[in-house]
Amino acid sequence: MTIITPSDDFKKIMKKLDELEEKVENTNAEIFQRAGKKVGRDIGIAYGLIIGTILSIILPNLLNIMQLIIKMSH
């Protein structure tokens, strides 16, 4: 089956399809960007908690060691 369309109508339809495709691509890009930001935030929170926990264990011990060094040097 062959359909013949006037070239002006075909060009208009193709232009509308291109515009719709661009809108879909932009929408998908925004969705993935938001998802990426959420994942990045969650990773940052996890790293912060891990580093905070490690430092809360290490810092008091370092302070004790420094106090001992100061006492020994006097």
**CA end-to-end span of the chain, whole Å?**
101
Domain of residue 50, residue span: 25-74
Cα dihedral: 13, 18, 22, 27 (round 10): 40
Q: CA–CA distance from 7 to each of 11, 38, 56 (Å)?
A: 6, 47, 73
Answer whether residue 18 is part of any domain.
no
Query: 3-class SS at 67?
Result: helix
Q: How many domains does the chain have?
A: 1
pLDDT at 54: 93
Answer whether residue 74 is part of any domain.
yes
pLDDT at 10: 84
Answer whether residue 14 is part of any domain.
no
Structure tokens at 17: 């399809």
Answer whether residue 2 is part of any domain.
no
Answer whether residue 51 is part of any domain.
yes
- What tens-digit pLDDT sequence spans the chain (74 residues)? 677 767 888 889 999 999 999 999 999 999 999 999 999 999 999 999 999 999 999 998 898 999 999 989 87
